Structure 1
Amino acid sequence: MTAFPEKLLQRIADGAAQRDAQREQPFALINEIKATGFGARRLAAEHGGGGTSLTETFDAAITLAEADPNIAHIWRNHHVALERILNTPSGHPAVVRLRDRVLAGDMIGAANTELGQAQIGGGGPFASRLVREGSGYVLNGKKFYSTGSLFSDWLYIPVSLEDGTRVIAIAPKGRAGLDTVDDWFGMGQRLTGSGTTLLDNVRIEADEVLLPADIPGKQAVFGSTIAQLFLTAVIAGVVAAIARDGAALLGKRKRNYYYAPTPAASQDPILLAALGEREADAFATRAIVLAAADASDRAYAALQEKTEDVDARLQAAAAAAAKAKITVDRIAHHAATALFDITGASATLAHLNLDRHWRNIRTISTHNHTAHKAYALGNRSINQVALPTQGFF
């Protein structure tokens, strides 16, 4: 049984090239996915959710990304929020409310990064501040990257108190003074709602703030690993789309080079071999992501059971996600270029928009530097230096 109705996946895939070319935001499709209950499948069973494993969740994310990587990526921060705060034993009022809304079909977006931060993903204070006002707070600030927030119902907003303490504010999207701006104009992943979030005197109640003690520290660390692995799953989905589109175009190709071994392109062993390579790429990248997801499932079990080896399992999961990124990125970059070895110059026609696969892979893979990941892995192996615990590790 697939996570999504086949007809829905087909409609998503059929319109993906045009949406990317015309910058048509997929609001209606996101609402259809919300209605499938996808957002609650990973929520723990003890909280009323489906209790789906991370391996199954990432498999579904790859399938959705094959249809449209923008739409899959929109769900990343929702799943990070599930791991960081909702799939914990917390009885905090904001967490309880958010679980209920997720069960009702709501999506969580995030407004996190600020351009003024000297170190990406670091632990310093945010410029966005909660200032005490009566029994609650007033929030002012500006967030640059807000993936998924344009389509979300709730926002997960890391901010600082007046003393610099980092906390999480949870607010409904419709709250007065909270504005998500559709101003993301990257070369790829153009439709992820990754634009600016403006916070202008937003009222935040005291029970909508998660203090550091309200979020299990190890669970927050685990959320960083899930953030990275979700991105890699999206790339694996694009690799699958490359194999799909290569097969579709090769099957339709009427002409072949005059010096080719066969008159029909569909019988050309060189072109068929090129297609087979892309199919192998798709198989390998999915397998790599799911192997890393299995390591994350083991880490999650250790978190829930509070086993003695929980730190080791968290590090193993982070290492697996880093290894998956390094390898999947390399395969995907090659596959996106090699697609044109199957299909020839006619594949560069603008209406096909096949360059979106390379643009999307290149954009997603810039989320955290591959060389820094590789360095951290080598340093862990040789010098026993633990992997970082923030910034998508």
Structure 2
Amino acid sequence: MTSYQTLQHVKSLSRQKAHVIQSDAEALQIASQLAAQFEQNAVQRDRERILPFEEIEAYSQSGLWAITVPKIYGGAEVSSLTIAKIIALMSGVDGSIGQIPQNHFYALEVLRNTGTEQQKQRLYAEILAGARLGNALAEFKTKSAAQKTASIRKTDQGVSIVNGEKFYCTGSLFAHRIPTLVTDEQEHEFLAFIPSDSKGVEKIDDWYGFGQKTTGSGTVKFHQVKVVSEDVIPFDQAFLQPTLVGPFAQLMHAAIEVGIARAAFEETLIRVRQARPWIDSGVDSATQDPLTLYELGRVAADVRASEVLLKQAAQSIDLARPQPDADNIARASIDVAKVRAHSSETALKAASKLIELAGSRGSQRKDGLDRFWRNARVHTLHDAARWKYYFIGQYVLNGILPPRRGTL
């Protein structure tokens, strides 16, 4: 699909005012209903790489993309635990759909911390009405991930000009605005909430990862794009002081992996009941195979441990939110790092054991069992689990606070 076709597809979707969710309980109920709907064609979407335009429209119109909007602006302001549960649920039925709104919520968290009152009122109102945010944060052609070349420059006409190229722009093919990380002449970083139909914005569907295939994580190019000051908020300031921007972002990543792990394990139970026992087991059913039971027990323990760690991390974030300071933000970051590291390993293990314990039948393309491993393997590449363990060790042994940037 070309960038022009993508834009026309987004425009063709209805922009009726979205439902406004009022509570955590309502959000979880709606998410459960939608997850059942999204599961129906998940294997086909993955196999044929069918981008989920209609599903994402239904997702945002349901009101679920506005549930982090603070109550004072008309939103439900649900708990971090509710957000984690919903993302895990969606990721279990379709890893791509689970990941797509992650950067949407991330941008809203930056807005919460560094936006002006006027910006919050305007952008939150758009989100409550059903607007979707993508992202253009990462760059592919720099020497290191820390380097950014996309620029923003003020003009004499009172607007700014954005130029640059971004990659791994998850969700941008479905977005109405694309929050874009840019740098000015003084090397200060900003997040520009650029309308996706702005002149000079080019969205390219060129994401060809072997997993998370339909996240829309391709390239976005900006050619002399005009941006008004009302759409630009500080970005680096979100990390100069203790905020929840980093741990909240990582919590959502962990939830994606926890959801994949749980779904892979539940699928394993179904497949083992259908499998034949190993010839040397001496039993009549695979459900009685002692080594199969051993492997299932190990995966069950790991999946549950990841879920418990996810709950603990979400609660740490919510405890820190009223009065964030260096200490409680560090504790929240470390709790999130624990689940992020553990869930990365658990998702890969659970997804691999699914295929192993299903036997040779588990390799059939029509069943798409490999999608759990492929999605987990690609998503876990966002951040290295080995560095999570390093910072956890530094904190518990030496009392060194973890970095505030969004990688922990």
Aligned twin of 1:166: 189
Shift of 1:280: 3.6
Among 159, 165, 171, the alignment partner of 1:142 is 165
CA contact (8 A) 1:130 1:159 kept: no
TM-score, scaled to structure 2: 0.86
Structure 1 residue aligned with 2:72, among 39, 42, 46? 46
Which residue type is aligned with residue 136 of structure 2?
A
Other-structure match for 2:268: 246
Pairwise mapping of residues 359-378 of structure 1 onto structure 2 (< 5 A)?
359-378=374-393
Instruction: State how far apart, in whole Å, the 1-side matches of 2:48 and 2:183 are.
Output: 38
Q: Secondary structure at the match of 2:134?
A: strand
Quick one: which amino acid aligns to residue 86 of structure 2? A
Q: 2:360 aligns with which of 345, 359, 363?
A: 345
Q: Please state how far the C-alpha of 1:218 moved relative to its aligned partner.
A: 3.4
State the one-letter code of the partner of 2:206.
D
- Per the alignment, in what secondary structure is the counterpart of residue 301 of structure 1? coil
Amino acid at match of 2:42: A
Whole-Å Cα distance in 1 between the matches of residues 32 and 229 of structure 2?
44
**Higher mean C-alpha deviation, range 240-249 or range 69-78:** 240-249
The structural deviation recorded for 1:277 is 4.1
- Aligned-residue offset at 1:276: 4.6
Q: Deviations over 1:268-319 (max 9, x none)?
A: 454455445444433222221111111111121223xxxxxx1101111111
In the aligned structure 2, how far is the partner of 1:234 from the partner of 1:119?
A: 26
Code of the residue aligned with 1:129 in structure 2: it is I
Counterpart of 1:72? Answer: 98
The aligned runs of 1:111-260 (5 Å cut-off) are: 111-120=136-145, 122=146, 126-211=149-234, 217-218=240-241, 221-253=243-275, 255-260=276-281
Contact preservation (8 Å) 1:66, 1:240: yes
Once the two structures are overlaid, the 10-residue window that deviates more, 158-167 or 26-35, is 158-167
Deviations 1:299-342 (A, max 9, x none): 21223xxxxxx110111111111111111222222222211342
Residue 304 (structure 2) aligns with: 283
- Aligned to 1:331, the other structure's residue is in SS state helix
| Structure 2 counterpart SS, 1:62 | helix
What are the residue-to-residue correspondences of 1:310-329 with 2, within 5 Å?
310-329=325-344
CA distance in structure 1 between the partners assigned to 2:339 and 2:199 by the alignment: 41
Aligned to 1:306: none
Cα distance in 1 for residues equivalent to 2:372 and 2:201: 33
Quick check: 19-28 or 271-280, which moved more? Answer: 271-280
Report deviation, 1:130.
2.9
The 1:294/1:140 distance shift into structure 2, 3 A limit, reads same
Aligned residues: percent identity?
27
Gaps (5+ residues) in structure 1? 304-309
Alpha-carbon deviation of 1:145?
A: 1.9
Distance 1:341 1:118 in 2: 39
Give how far 1:138 is off: 1.7
The answer (yes or no) to whether the contact 1:65–1:237 under 8 Å persists in 2 is yes
Mapped partners of 2:241, 2:318: distance in 1: 14
- Aligned residue in 2 for 1:307: none
Say which is worse superposed, 91-100 or 206-215, in terms of deviation: 206-215
**Alignment length (residue pairs):** 382
Q: Answer whether contact 2:261 2:348 (CA < 8 A) is retained.
A: no
Preserved contact between residue 87 and residue 255 of structure 2 (Cα < 8 Å): yes
- Structure 2: 5+ residue runs without aligned partners? 1-24
Residue 83 of structure 1: aligned partner: 109
**Aligned-pair CA distance for 1:164:** 2.8
Cα contact 2:154–2:161 (8 A) shared by 1: yes
Give the CA RMSD over aligned residues: 2.3
Aligned twin of 1:102: 127
One-letter amino acid of the counterpart of residue 100, structure 1: A
* Residue 300, structure 1, aligned to residue 329, structure 2: no
